[in-house]
Amino acid sequence: MHLGIYDHFGWAVAVVASPDRDVVERRRLELVEPGVTAAPIHYERDHHDDHSNAALVATVRASVVRASAAAFDALASSTTGSIIGPIRSCSLRSWPSDFPTDIATLRRPPYESRADAIMYRQVLADLARRRGWDVYQFDAKHVVEQAATILGARADDVLDGPRRRLGPPWTRDHRIALAATVVAGAHLTP
């Protein structure tokens, strides 16, 4: 099975699809513990100096690891025992490999608006790899088009059918996450 994630500050939409592209699970994942800021750089950069902000980022990152690990555990256990098999891949929105890590740089535009989102994706990628899942990155602007090309005549049924079959919620985020599973699944060998 393939997991697609469309993340936001502190939460994400997750869609698990079978190799046949059927939606097996969809849910909201909480990626940070309650009471912890979801965006330590974007929301808090003006309230702290570099040293204090670095400490805050470390605290939030640790919270993201714990909350996201628990979310992945719950997701994996809900699909365990499925005749389809375990989750094999996790698809996440892409981020630049050379994105800075220095707090002073991250607190300045244009980095401050993306730093927190990239932290979440990096944590999710690390947690997925620890579970033995292949990690794929996707461009949210193009992944639906890529999936449609792979699916051909089945594209409308696969990408829009869950809205009819499963009912709400089925948003743009769910569709993108599902499309990402299709693209990742095309790269995995049976």
pLDDT tens track for 22-76: 999 999 999 999 999 999 998 876 677 888 989 999 999 999 999 999 999 999 8
Residues 11 and 69: their CA atoms lie apart, in Å, by 13
List pLDDT tens digits, range 86-114: 899 999 999 999 999 999 999 999 999 99
Helix count and strand count (H, E) for the chain: 6, 5
Q: Specify whether the CB–CB gap between 81 and 89 falls below 8 A.
A: no
pLDDT at 13: 98
pLDDT in tens, 115-169: 999 999 999 999 999 999 999 999 999 999 999 999 999 999 999 999 888 988 8
Residue type present at position 92: L
CA 183 from chain centre, in angstroms, equals 14
* Spacing of C-alpha 160 from chain mean position: 20
Mean pLDDT, all residues of the chain: 92
Global confidence as pTM:
0.93
* Confidence label for 77 from pLDDT (cuts 50, 70 and 90): confident
Amino acid at 108: R
**Integer Cα distance of 88 and 62 in angstroms:** 25
Output the CATH code of domain 2-187. Answer: 3.30.420.10
Q: Nearest CA to 159 among 180, 130, 136? A: 180
Residues 6+ apart with CB under 8 A from 24: 1, 16, 17, 18, 79, 82, 84
